[in-house]
Structure 1
Amino acid sequence: MHILDELQKRDLIQQTTDDEGLRKHLEENVVTLYCGFDPTADSLHIGHLLPILMLKRFQKAGHRPIALIGGGTGMIGDPSGRSTERSLNSAEVVKGYSDSIAQQLAKIIEFDKGENSAVARNNHEWLSSITLIEFLRDIGKHFSVNYMLAKDSVESRLENGISFTEFSYMIMQSIDFEKLYKEENCTLQIGGSDQWGNITAGKEYIRRRNSQENGEEAEVFGLTVPLITKSDGTKFGKTAGGAVWLDPEKTTPYEFYQFWINTDDRDVIRFMKYFTFLDLGEIEELEKELETAPEKRIPHKRLAEEMTKLIHGEEALQQAQKITEALFSGELNSLNADEIEQGFKDVPSVTIEDKELSLVDLLVNAKISSSKRQAREDIKNGAIYINGERNQELTYQMSEADRIEDRFTIIRRGKKKYFLIRYQ
């Protein structure tokens, strides 16, 4: 199947600059394409996944992706999709962010795959060396202010104001496209739908600077992916705890797995098409499973498995599944301390210095029960569980056996209220 047909069946194409021309170009060439990622944080999040996976899809189809780290553009800030000016970071911070993002991209896109091995570039390499006179005289003359003002990314900001700094971002991204066109024979830029104005500006800049003397225009293309929305109206990639990051230190593999497994029924098949590399026929079968047995949540589990394995690996997936099963069954003794750290990251926790407290004192000190009298009632009524095991012994003394790797004890009060006891 042609790569564009595959993308269309997955609803992954928002716009192209020339559908027929791009189709022919992809059929006749090993095409070099790029997508840029500005380092605005020390990790990418799942909002970046669609363009990253688009690079991977093109690579699997035999083409050559470039992951462009925006070490230069990241110091300016893209106005696209924003109503306010970005805060500017120092050069040192942007470099640190850039290094972290490059490492994350290397885990997803293959940089050792022969002819179509991925390439990593950083636009700080060329943007930092352009002089002001060169920028204005040799580059700026190719951009009409009227043309730039008409772009959505700029026009939407005019009412509230846009600085010359962010106004110039379009030119910087155009420089990137032209640089990669010349040095890497890069003829396709991809990005989110909010990048359409920047992409078409780059295409026009290449046309102006690189048209042949015989009248032939430089042949380059642009393609955007759709903006992802959730059926319930909430923003994709956000949870109550904030963004869902690709860095396991910021969003644990268990949390990452849970994000996907909790996908709304109305979104799960669409997200499988967007984010997984499962065959479309298999996705159709999973859609039937959803219709006939929605309570089993088979597509949700498969989506969570595929995404966790893709981003964090098989071992992290198995660990996330183990934590999920332990929490569902209540058999918490099967978890080690690191798994408890992941699974109980967001539950109330308290640090205890005295490891030899009675259970009654522990419940009061950790504010699990409001008083010693209430603690005794909770224990007597069978409402207290230690590491998943019910304990109804009023005189019970906490011991080493109740501490998992001498770091944690998990107390459950009632059916769902968990508390994490940490030991110094």
Structure 2
Amino acid sequence: MSGIIPNAKTDVNQAIASLYRAEWGRIVAILIRLVGDFDVAEEAVQEAFIAAVNQWQSSGVPDLPRAWIVKTARYKAIDRLRRRTRLTEKLEWYAASGLIPTHQESTYDTDEIPDERLRLIFTCCHPALAIEAQVALTLRLLGGLETDEIARAFLVPTATMAQRLVRAKRKIRDAGIPYKVPDTTDLSVRVNAVLTAIYLIFNEGYATTRGEMMVRADLCTEAIRLGRLVRTLMAPQPPSEVTALLALMLLHDSRRDARLDEVGDLVLLEDQDRRRWNQQQIAEALPLVEEALRGEIGSFAVQAAIAALHCQAAQAEETDWLQIVRLYDLLERLQPSPIVSLNRAVAISMIESPQTALGLIDGLAPQLNDYHLFHATRAEMLRRIGALASAAQSYALALMLVSNDSERRFLERRLREVQP
């Protein structure tokens, strides 16, 4: 390139940000296979992206940007390993590892390469790790989430989550946990943690923790892709929860285009234009829900059944709220949590009254007082019964806790509506 055209710097930054969101997990997985060290791989990829910011401003975005990042990260990893040990003692190991190519290099820009992300997710979800560490590590390494974003998902301080991630990676290294998809005899032990991790990746895409975007389509797409992979891996008779999770994600994601208006503001489910829902995804998901409900029913199957009832209603007024409440009753028994109870209370408000729901919601205050959707839901019930001053107080509390800009704008609008 002879020069940078106006706005080229912005375009390059946007290209790098898009590449980071879409390819972080794939690139880190490739580097982990090459170097066998989680920390070295992650740090090398981070350095490669920093190098891209510095170099692509003048040289332009390369034809194969992912390949450029992988190649740069590989040599960053070599530099790190050289600083750890004498190169002459490790030259054979480097060549055997693939860090120093002995033949024509792969571009790493084709879909024909082995799916390293599937290896990575099963490594992160090894039973030697605590379940919280399994999910957190998957979100960091596969989903590319920052430590504070993961901490919010777990409702713990950022420092606590940082320590958890460090301990998990250290345990993988010290215990020599293999970087592979387990044999079929071990799959059942690992699958629940894998499904949980995949769903949390999807949730972060569906309702992003922070920033301007409400939805990160790349994370939703990646989670659905991983769900399909796990289901294929466990064919011909995948566990019902594997099928249920795929159905659940497809149904939620089918509403993506209707969840935001033309300026990017949040649109509640009851106000969405259902003509914008992805009917192809719904048609794919509904038979999967039926299949999951024929097997051993777990929490994902119940959630998928709830989502199916929403998607089958042509209008909000046609929603079968009575059946949804019954499903939430079952979900509370299978997976008791204050979040489930909060959603159940919302469903009860639709068949009984906001006042009844408010009593149930207030009982959850000790557990959910730091959760912005608790206060937003409480404010909505108060607004519906005409207690506008109290609703304003709850909206204000929700605004103090929310970290996503789209949700913030929605809550600000609601607060203005209930203020005198």
TM-score range, shorter chain: under 0.3
Give me the TM-score of the superposition, normalised by structure 1: 0.26
Query: Greater Rg, structure 1 or structure 2?
Result: 1
Q: Which has the higher contact order (CA 8 A, sep 6+)?
A: 1
Higher strand share: 1
Higher helix share: 2
Give me the TM-score of the superposition, normalised by structure 2: 0.26
